[in-house]
Structure 1
């Protein structure tokens, strides 16, 4: 879950750094609103499925070709390729049971927070559009 939020935040930052001045302004000023909206969407998905998704990193061996430097009797370096085993990190998703009552309370709290944030986010979007008009 933390990894998902981190990736989402990183994606938003990358998008914000590449957007127009208006898009950057909107992104900067609606960050909390978008975060709460994404969390609410995740909680509602958990309720609909009946479980949550978590992620963990697992290491698996993988056969690959490795390069090794060997020196001949004159000291000259030669690269030799041969098969070897390497550990490769993979992200694995797995189901986690939820308590529906807790998730419903969490969703209700997020809905209330989203309602509180909506007027400020709308005002910020209007201000950004007037400050950075796009033709």
Structure 2
């Protein structure tokens, strides 16, 4: 499995889980998405501060020697499938380091901490409301 395929599967997994979850799970997911986003961003900023740099990604087009299917006619006029080497382009994702401004990252972290604490109470009440609205069997 290529990295791009694995990344697409990871990105699609929450969508699949959200689509087939229970009504309570879908309600909780829908009402806590901003809190989860802010928490994810905060973890990323804290990681950047701990490392001293950030990671960014870019798409790079490369070519690869592979086998291409070719069709030709034999002496009797039948179509025959063959394979021959050919060059194909593919897109790869490359991660690279980016320098950060530690003061700006700390301000960003402080703002995200404040935002997350403001959202945590609302997310907790939303979870309680979802559990009350969509009770699940505990047995």
Give the corresponding residue for 2:55: 53
- How many pairs were matched up? 130
Partners of 1:49 and 1:30 in 2: CA distance: 29
2:114 matched residue in structure 1: 112
CA–CA separation in structure 1 for the residues paired with 2:65 and 2:131: 54
Cα distance in 2 for partners of 1:14, 1:33 equals 20
Q: How does 1:11-90 map to 2 (within 5 A)?
A: 11-72=13-74, 75-90=77-92
Q: Distance in 1 between matches of 2:69 and 2:9?
A: 33
CA RMSD of aligned residues (A): 1.9
| Alpha-carbon distance between aligned partners in 1 of 2:40 and 2:13, rounded to the nearest angstrom | 13
After TM superposition, the score normalised by the length of structure 1 is 0.87
Paired with 1:8 and 1:45, the residues of 2 have a C-alpha distance of 20
Gaps of 5+ in 1: 1-5
Q: TM-score, normalised by structure 2?
A: 0.85
Gaps of 5+ in 2: 1-7
Distance in 2 between the 1:79 and 1:45 partners?
Answer: 52
Q: Distance in 2 between matches of 1:54 and 1:7?
A: 20
Deviations 1:6-42 (A, max 9, x none): 9877543332112111111100000111111100110
Give, in whole Å, the separation in 1 of the partners of 2:9 and 2:103: 28
> Which residue in 2 is equivalent to 1:103?
105
The CA distance in 1 between the partners of 2:44 and 2:88, in whole Å, is 35
